[in-house]
A and B are shown apart, each in its own frame.
Chain A
Amino acid sequence: MKKFYYSDGKEQFGPFTLDELKEKGITADTLVWYQGLEAWMPAAKAPYLKEVFGFSPPAVMNIDEDKVAEERARVQPPELSTETVDSSSGEVNYKDTSMPRLWLIESILVTLFCCLPFGIAGIIYASQIESRYNAGDKEGARELSRKAGQWTKTGFITGLIFISVYLLYSSYNLINLYN
């Protein structure tokens, strides 16, 4: 049985069964979440509830996108992975608003074992995240974290490509050797 949660933007309520949820006065832009949904979203946009509640397109049009984005930022959506929803207790853990990850260890590994420039770029971003976060610019910190992540991933993929090309090249040489 699917469990549903809804939120007034500050607190979450639930879990409810679908029948219980129907009595809660859910409107088109009430934020809802159920397992299988990536993030909190207005009921009118949630694939399953949209049909159940019969929200019509005009209701969707009425949603103030900025307001929804704002509310969504305030109510952090649960993480994607299944481990965030404890199915036995139905407890939902929210993505914390704590500092975004620095990618520091990954950057170091990329620096040492693959591509120094990419790793250094990652470290430089990592070095700015904390102060940015502590200054209250959480969005900026998250952006820096995203960039740091991009550089380390680029480095990682470059390393993989380099090793694959190398392996192909050396096996080509080996085959020639034995022929």
Chain B
Amino acid sequence: MRNVLIGLAVLLFLFYAYWIAMNDPAESISFSCPVFAFTGLECAGCGSQRAFHDLMNGRLSDAISQNALLFLLMPYAVMGMVLRFKPFREKYEKLYIRLFGSRAAWILLFLVLAWTLYRNLYLHIFNH
């Protein structure tokens, strides 16, 4: 049952990846993030689909310019998930606690809020 679900998720993701590679989310119909849909504000994750689209088409710098924070936090999240797997869990426990502990939470909180303010105020009000 669990394997079926994982398989289904992987299939869905592959389908989505193919679809997003072919269609620019800025132009075609695509998901909008709930926060943007309701408030019109760009949240910390907005631009992730555009970034993914650029990335799938091999335009790394365009992708980063869509949402720079994403390229900082995604490797971090993936690393955290890898470190949680059993073979790594015990070996790197101290590293895990240091990188994914409460202090990290404070830093992340600051980063996310600062990024949200920056992209909504600076990028949109002062630049336009």
Q: Which residues of A pack against B, CB within 8 Å? A: 99, 102, 104-105, 107-109, 111-117, 119-120, 123-124, 126-131, 158-159, 162-163, 166, 170, 173
Contacts and interface: CB of A to CB of B under 8 A. Distances in A.
Q: How many residues of B sit at the interface, in one of the four size bands?
A: 20 to 34
Given A104-B105, A124-B109, A170-B29, A117 B100 contact: no
A58 to B, nearest CB: 43
B35 interface: yes
Interface in B11-55: 29, 31, 33-35, 43-45, 48
Given A104-B100, A120-B113, 20 more contacts: A102-B100, A102-B105, A104-B101, A104-B104, A105-B80, A105-B81, A105-B100, A108-B73, A108-B108, A109-B77, A112-B45, A113-B45, A116-B35, A123-B108, A123-B109, A124-B109, A127-B102, A162-B34, A166-B31, A170-B29
Main secondary structure of the interface of B (DSSP, over half): helix
A127 B35 contact: no
B69 to A, nearest CB: 8
Interface of B: 29, 31, 33-35, 43-45, 48, 69-70, 73, 76-77, 80-81, 84, 97, 100-106, 108-109, 112-113, 116
Contact of B43 (A116, A127, A159, A173): A116
